[in-house]
Amino acid sequence: MSTLILRTIAPTLTSLMVIYSIVVLLSGHNEPGGGFIGGLIAASAFALYGIACGVGPVRRAIYFHPISIAGFGMLLAALSGLPSLMEGVPYLTGVWWFPKLSKTVELALSTPLFFDIGVWLVVVGSLVSIALALEEKD
């Protein structure tokens, strides 16, 4: 399957897909998208890279074992529910804060954002670990 064309284009394509998946993840609260979809896109990107250039480069590129990434995502999602407890509202209730960067620019940070990043990491980690394990020819 790893033809010359695919091998040449795969790194670029993968980078674009991962960037796009992050865009989808972050814009998901207002536009179509979110952690699940973004995670699926990024997972396909890594799977594609693995098919084109072999599993080794993918494992080196993402550095951590994909299942650890998924585990970290799980932890992040679970922890993102804690700040609401400090505010005295039920677990996982969204807590928002809007730090002002300048007079006109306001940042919207929230616990659901971190929750969604956790979802993204779980989906990416789980699917990539499956795909890479299957792609490995040992």
The residue ranges that bind other proteins (CB under 8 A) are: 28-37, 40-41, 43-44, 47, 51, 67, 70-71, 73-74, 77-78, 81, 91-94, 96, 108, 110, 112-113, 115-116, 118-119, 122-123, 125-127, 129-131, 133-135, 137
Distance CA 136, CA 50 (A): 9
Retrieve residue 92's tokens: 């996982």
Q: In the complex, what is the shortest distance from the CB of residue 24 to other proteins, in angstroms, rounded to a whole number?
A: 8
Amino acid at 36: F
Query: Treating both helix axes as pointing N-terminal to C-terminal, what angle do 111-135 and 55-62 enclose, rounded to 10 degrees?
Result: 160
Q: In the complex, what is the shortest distance from the CB of residue 96 to other proteins, in angstroms, rounded to a whole number?
A: 6
Phi, psi at 127, each rounded to 5°: -70, -40
Q: In the complex, what is the shortest distance from the CB of residue 8 to other proteins, in angstroms, rounded to a whole number?
A: 20
